[in-house]
Amino acid sequence: MKIAILDSEAIGPIEELKRFDKFGEVKTYSTTNEKELFDRAKNKDVLILNKVRMDSSVLKKLPDLKLICVCATGTDNVDLEYCNEKGIEVKNVKGYSTDSVSQLTVSMVLALSLRLNEQNQSGKSKWQDSPVFSVLNNTFEDISDKSWGIVGLGSIGKKVARIATTMGCDVKYFSTTGRHSDPEFTRVELDALLGCNIISIHCPLNETTKDLINASNVSKLKDDCILINVARGGVVNERAIVDYFNKSNIKLGFDVASKEPIQGHNPLLEIRDSERLILTPHIAWASRQARQRLLEGVEENIRAFIE
What's residue 257's pLDDT? 98
Q: What is the largest CA-CA distance in the chain?
A: 75
What digits encode the pLDDT tens for the residues 123-158? Answer: 999 999 999 999 999 999 999 999 999 999 999 999
159 plus 300 within the same structural domain:
no
102 plus 85 within the same structural domain:
no
Per-residue confidence at 290, pLDDT binned at 50, 70, 90?
A: very high
pTM: 0.92
Which amino acid, one-letter code, is at 149? G
Residues recognised as catalytic: 232, 260, 282
123 plus 213 within the same structural domain:
yes
Q: Mean pLDDT lowest for which of 11-20, 139-148, 274-283?
A: 11-20
DSSP state of 266: -
220 plus 292 within the same structural domain:
no
The number of domains in the chain is 2
Write the CATH number for 193: 3.40.50.720
110 plus 81 within the same structural domain:
no
What's residue 198's pLDDT? 98
What's residue 13's pLDDT? 81
Mean pLDDT of 220-228: 97
59 plus 179 within the same structural domain:
no
What's residue 270's pLDDT? 96
DSSP state of 54: B
Residues 52 and 37 sit within 8 Å (Cβ to Cβ): yes
Could you tell me the residue range of the domain that residue 20 belongs to?
2-93+288-306
Average pLDDT, the chain: 96
Give the integer Cα–Cα distance in Å for 176 and 212: 9
Looking at the predicted structure, is the pLDDT value of residue 180 above 90? no
Handedness of CA 31, 36, 37, 43 (dihedral sign): negative
Give the integer Cα–Cα distance in Å for 110 and 112: 5
70 plus 105 within the same structural domain:
no
What are the start-end ranges of the H helices in the chain?
A: 14-17, 34-41, 56-59, 80-86, 98-113, 116-125, 155-166, 190-193, 238-246, 288-306
Residues 174 and 189 sit within 8 Å (Cβ to Cβ): yes
DSSP state of 219: G
174 plus 236 within the same structural domain:
yes
Looking at the predicted structure, is the pLDDT value of residue 15 above 90? no
Give the integer Cα–Cα distance in Å for 228 and 17: 32
Mean pLDDT of 169-190: 91
Looking at the predicted structure, is the pLDDT value of residue 179 above 80? no
